[in-house]
Amino acid sequence: MKSIQLSELNQHYGEEVVVSGFVDNIRNLQWVQFLILRDDTGRVQITIEKSDDNNQSMVELVNSLTLESTVKITGILNENPKVKLNGMEIIPSVIEVTSKSDLELPFSYKDLTGVNLDTRLDYRFIDLRSERNSLIFKIQSSLVQYMREYLYQHDFMEIHTPKLIGAASESGSDVFEVKYFDRLAYLAQSPQFYKQMAMASGFNRIFEVGPVFRAENSNTSRHATEYTCFDVEFSYIDSYYDVMNLESEMLTYALEKVNQIYGEKIKEMYGEELVVPSLPFPVMKLSDVYQELESRYGYKVDDSEKDDLTTEAERLCYQLAKDKFQHEFLFVTHYPASKRAFYHMRDDDGVLQGYDLLWRGVEITTGAQREHRYEEIRKNAKEKGLEKDVEFYLEFFKYGCPPHGGFGLGIDRLTMLLLGISSIKEAQFLFRGPNRIEP
């Protein structure tokens, strides 16, 4: 017989079942042993009567069993209202130890207070046994599932672009070099060029969810050197407003679904209220944001920092979005063109046709209409001194390329903000940063 998951047990009362999991707890009383078995979906009590002669070998086995070992158990599942844990118990006939755990864990994942985050990350596989921490990834999986679902419903298809690339892409400074036989290659900072190549290939609507690599030596709560980006690109748009609309609709759709499934649990486990956003999301120009941050909150930005939002300004934008629009999201537009990627389109007045999206005071997305006209994009690349490096990319625009746009959304940051987790280190399955590349 195959093991069933513990969440399925309630369909099998009175039957012989086989279950597998970790030994969560053992209570060894005078007449009876209680073993609590745990898998990813729940827990169940196993009850072993010591007085039953047939049970002697099982009783001995449980006497020497260590917590967190894994076992496979065959037994009869009984409904029993006296059992506090789900009103059921299994009366076992066979217990097989499938892996034995050391007696001493590096720390107790059941109470993480006082356990250093670095120690937790060193033993992430134990840290993730806690309900709170494993739930982060169930919710993340659900969030990504519904973002994908929205896109499939709108005729998008998922593609997979290479992460090993021959030329440093967006900007040379933040890339990791790798030895590639007798030459150098780089790890992709973004699928940017390839998602645009898909547009030149005549793929109307695509997305990709995959790893991206940033050689940024920044130890902040929101930066990782490898993270997962949710990238979208689509053709025949009229302006970057089409991109902002698609993104806000996708996020609203996914957050509504996640709220239905996990809203209560998120509140209980992380103390965070999931507010399903209303459409449309508010939009502000960067210069207006600065003006209002000053007039409302006395926050004055130095001229040298006016090209982008500082971390503090981003943080205050949460307050601004709430006070001005009763919203948690804020699109910011009209960044100075000179400071943004060369592939963002500029209008005839030189105004950048792109945006950042902030949620709860943190940037989660950059998006834009792209420059798809060959002469223009070549000129933009030249201005940045990138013409030679991106020669292969410029070719994409030479033989017909639809007007298009898209965005990149950091999944790890999105998860962190959704659950009110203070650091991206906890929102990544395994964090990668300047000082952490293991386990």
Name the minimum Å distance from CB 415 to ligand AMO. Answer: 11
Of 366, 369, 380, 415, the one binding ligand AMO by CB under 6 A:
366
- Residue 54 is classified by DSSP as G
Q: Examine residue 380 and tell whether it contacts ligand AMO (CB under 6 A).
A: no
Q: Examine residue 407 and tell whether it contacts ligand AMO (CB under 6 A).
A: yes
Return the residue matching tokens 């920092």. Answer: 305
Stretch that binds ligand AMO, among 2-10, 321-329, 364-372, 383-391 (CB under 6 A): 364-372
Q: Examine residue 315 and tell whether it contacts ligand AMO (CB under 6 A).
A: no
Q: Which residues contact 232 (CB under 8 A, 6 or more apart)?
A: 151, 156, 195, 206, 207, 246, 247, 250, 406, 407, 408, 409
Between 45 and 190, CB nearer to ligand AMO: 190
Q: Examine residue 390 and tell whether it contacts ligand AMO (CB under 6 A).
A: no
Residue 34: both structure tokens together: 């209680």
The continuous run of DSSP H or E covering 297 comes out as helix 286-297
Q: Examine residue 120 and tell whether it contacts ligand AMO (CB under 6 A).
A: no
- What type of residue sits at position 171? S
Residues 185-214 touching ligand AMO, rule: CB under 6 A, are 190, 192, 214
Residue 344: both structure tokens together: 């963002």
Of 22, 146, 227, 355, the one binding ligand AMO by CB under 6 A:
227
Of 328, 363, 371, 426, the one binding ligand AMO by CB under 6 A:
363
Of 75, 282, 361, 408, the one binding ligand AMO by CB under 6 A:
408
Q: Give the Cα-Cα-Cα angle 118, 123, 129 (nearest 5 degrees).
A: 115
> Quick one: residue 42, left, alpha or beta (phi over 0 = left, psi -120 to 50 = alpha)?
left
Q: Examine residue 216 and tell whether it contacts ligand AMO (CB under 6 A).
A: yes
Of 139, 406, 418, 421, the one binding ligand AMO by CB under 6 A:
406
Beta strands in 107-176 (DSSP E): 157-158, 164-165
Q: Are strands 283-285 and 329-333 parallel, antiparallel or unpaired?
A: parallel
* Distance between CA atoms of residues 79 and 97, nearest Å: 25
Name the minimum Å distance from CB 418 to ligand AMO. Answer: 13
Q: Examine residue 361 and tell whether it contacts ligand AMO (CB under 6 A).
A: no
User: With contacts defined by CB under 6 A, how many residues of the chain interact with ligand AMO?
Assistant: 21
Q: Examine residue 367 and tell whether it contacts ligand AMO (CB under 6 A).
A: yes
Q: How many residues belong to the chain?
A: 439
Between 129 and 195, CB nearer to ligand AMO: 195
User: CB atoms < 10 A from the CB of 307, how many?
Assistant: 13
- Contact set with ligand AMO (CB under 6 A): 190, 192, 214, 216, 223-224, 227, 229, 231, 363-368, 406-408, 410, 412-413
